[in-house]
Structure 1
Amino acid sequence: MGAYILRRMVSTVAVMAMVGIFVFLLLRLAPGDPADMIAGPRATPEMIAGIREQLGLNQPLPVQFVHWALSILGGDLGISIFTGRPVLELISQRLEPTISISILTMILSVTIGVSFGILAAWRDGGLVDRILTAFATLGFSVPVFVVGFFLIYLLAIRTRWLPVQGYHPIDDGFGPWLVHLILPTVTLSVPYIAFIARIARGSMLEVLSEDYMRTAAAKGASSYSMLFHHALKNAGVPILTVIGLSFAGLIGGVVITETVFNIPGVGRLVVDAINNRDYPIIQGVLILVSGLYVLINLAVDLSYTLIDPRIRY
């Protein structure tokens, strides 16, 4: 067990080192001079030189990387070019909406997705299974922004049940906070519900076809006991994997969802930074998101040992 955890920790450090190198080179080796693009078409050579000095672009790449890596390890993500404020401060100010949407989305996706998968597997081949499978296929195929615009038209414009856009901090009250998160959360949850439901159904069907499950049924085990005490636990590894991947991959959907619903989260911050070519913000968000992705995968890998004891050895 200890050796397994140590191997996973070492591989996590190696992956983060590779991610850091990639993020560093991604912007510096891109076509064009970042300083020239930041300065704009009317900039003088002196202005461009000053920007290059500010960004440290006039130093050799290895020196730039060492300085950048040491700053990252010290918790300094740099200074925004256009606002002059620390990148970490800008990101922290946008975290609440993004974290709120992400947590509510995963709660909704896991609860409904796993339930749909179990129900479809239990009613394999029946009407319920066909309906849930059709929903999973449709939900996984339709883009998030299409779902968002449809829900806006149906629940905000047509019926006026929910607000169209905006965000209220939780300090303003739980009610306004939750009401403004319903549409973006449901929108973002649809593809993850479909994805988790499909994996859960397939995993449950595979386990339910095993000999020991038929033996349990022959001994008179209840459907509840077979589904939740035996089948779900043994089908847990692939389900847990897809839940971890879904949570780690939320940032892509959050960017689109926050743009559609005009929510001032990290996704909107990234979009604005790309439009303004604010490279420190882009790099800072990429590093934080990559680190979160790697840590979630590490947590998922370590949790396998609780579900399947064979992985410990």
Structure 2
Amino acid sequence: MGIYILRRLVSAIAVMVMVGVFVFLLLRLAPGDPAAIIAGDAATLEMIAGIREQLGLADPLLVQFVRWAISILGGDFGTSIFTGRPVVELIADRLEPTLCLSFMTIISSVTIGVYFGVFAAWRAGGVIDRALAGFAAVGFSVPVFVIGYALVYYFAITTHWLPVQGYAPISSGAGTWFVHLVLPTLTLSVGYVAFIARITRSSMLEVLSEDYMRTAAAKGASSYAMLFHHALKNAGVPILTVIGLSLAGLISGVVITETVFNIPGVGRLVVDAINNRDYPIIQAVLILVSGLYVLINLAVDLSYTLVDPRIRY
């Protein structure tokens, strides 16, 4: 088990090193110059050169990378080019909405998706199974922003049941906070519920056809025990995999959802930073997101050993 964990940790570190190099080069070699944006349309070449010197952008790429890598390892993500504030503070200010939206989406997607998939497999060919197939087709094919605008039109504009846009912090009250997150969570959850439910159904169908499941039924095991104690555990590896992929893919969905619902989260911060070519913010968020992605995959790999101990060897 220790060797298995060590191999996964070494792989995770190697991936993060490659991600760091890629993120640095991607932004530096992409078209556009933050110095020209800061200087404005009436700036001269001398003014732009001076700003580039001040920001350290005139140094060789290797020097810039080493300086940046040392700062990242020390926990210093630099200072925003446009606001002059530390990047860590800017991200921390926007973290609550993103974390809350992600948490609500994860809980709802996994809970609803797994239960839908289990019961669809249990009643394969029935009403629930056919309804899941139709729901999955919609969830897979319709873009997130289209779902968001459709939900806003009905629940906010037509019925006035929920607020159109914005975010209410937790300090404003649990009720107000929850109401403002309902529509963004529903928008972001549709695709992930469909994805998790379909994979859960497929995995459960394979397990339910095994001999030991028929033996459990012959011994008088209840439907709940057969589905959630025996079948779901043995179908766990593909389900855990798709949950991990969903959590990783959630990152990109949050950016779109925050834009649609005007939520001042990390996603909106990244969009603004891209428009302004604010290198430090973009680099910091990409590194943090990549690190989160690697940690999620590492956690999923380690969780396999709890479901199937044979993976340890």
- The TM-score normalised by the length of structure 2 is 0.97
- Is 2:175 aligned against 1:170? no
Q: 1:244 deviation in Å?
A: 1.4
User: How far apart are 1:127 and its partner, in Å?
Assistant: 2.1
- Whether 1:291 and 2:291 are equivalent positions in the alignment is yes
- The letter of the residue matching 1:213 is M
Once the two structures are TM-superposed, the CA of residue 245 in structure 1 deviates from its matched residue by 1.4
Over aligned residue pairs, what C-alpha RMSD do you find? 1.2
Q: Alpha-carbon deviation of 1:46?
A: 2.5
Please identify, of 73-82 and 209-218, the stretch whose mean Cα deviation from structure 2 is larger: 209-218
Name the counterpart of 1:190.
Answer: 190
Deviations 1:72-122 (A, max 9, x none): 111111111110111111001000000000000000001100000001000
How many angstroms apart in 2 are the aligned matches of 1:264 and 1:123?
43
Asked if 1:99 is matched to 2:96, the reply is no
Contact 1:116 / 1:132 at 8 angstroms: preserved in 2? Answer: yes
1:211 aligns with 211
The equivalent residue for 2:112 is 112
Structure 1 match to 2:64: 64
Secondary structure of 1:80's partner? coil
Cα deviations by residue, 1:18-53 (Å, 9 ceiling, x for unpaired): 000000000111134443344343222222122212
Q: Which runs of 5+ in 2 are unaligned?
A: none
Q: Which residue of 1 aligns with 2:31?
A: 31
Q: Distance in 2 between matches of 1:103 and 1:42?
A: 46
- Report if the CA contact (8 A) 2:157-2:164 is conserved: yes
Aligned length: 313
Contact 1:28 1:34 in 2 (8 A): no
Contact between 2:34 and 2:276, CA under 8 Å: does it hold in 1?
A: no
Unaligned runs of 5+ in 1: none
**1:239 aligned partner, one-letter code:** I
Match of residue 10 from structure 1: 10
Spell out the pairing of 1:147-158 with structure 2 (5 A cutoff): 147-158=147-158
Most deviating of 39-48 and 21-30 = 39-48
Higher mean Cα deviation, 203-212 or 86-95? Answer: 203-212
Q: What CA distance in whole angstroms lies between the structure 2 residues aligned with 1:23 and 1:39?
A: 25
Q: Is the 8 A contact 1:258 1:265 kept in 2?
A: yes
Question: How do 1:264-283 and structure 2 match up within 5 A?
Answer: 264-283=264-283
What residue in structure 2 maps to residue 235 of structure 1? 235
Higher mean C-alpha displacement, 36-45 vs 245-254: 36-45
- Report if aligned partners of 2:33, 2:277 keep a CA contact under 8 Å in 1: no
Distance 1:207 1:301 in 2: 21
Given that 1:236 and 1:307 are in contact with CA atoms closer than 8 Å, whether structure 2 keeps it comes out as yes
Question: In structure 1, the residue corresponding to 2:138 is in which secondary structure?
Answer: helix
Helix, strand or coil: the match of 2:18? helix
Give 1:218 shift: 2.6
Name the CA distance, whole Å, in 1 between partners of 2:270 and 2:311.
39
Aligned structure 1 segments of 4 or more residues deviating by more than 6 angstroms: none
Equivalent in the alignment of 2:130: 130
Amino acid at match of 1:118: V
Q: Confirm whether residue 90 of structure 1 aligns to residue 90 of structure 2.
A: yes
Secondary structure of the structure 2 residue equivalent to 1:7: helix
* Partner Cα separation in structure 2 for residue 253 and residue 54 of structure 1: 36
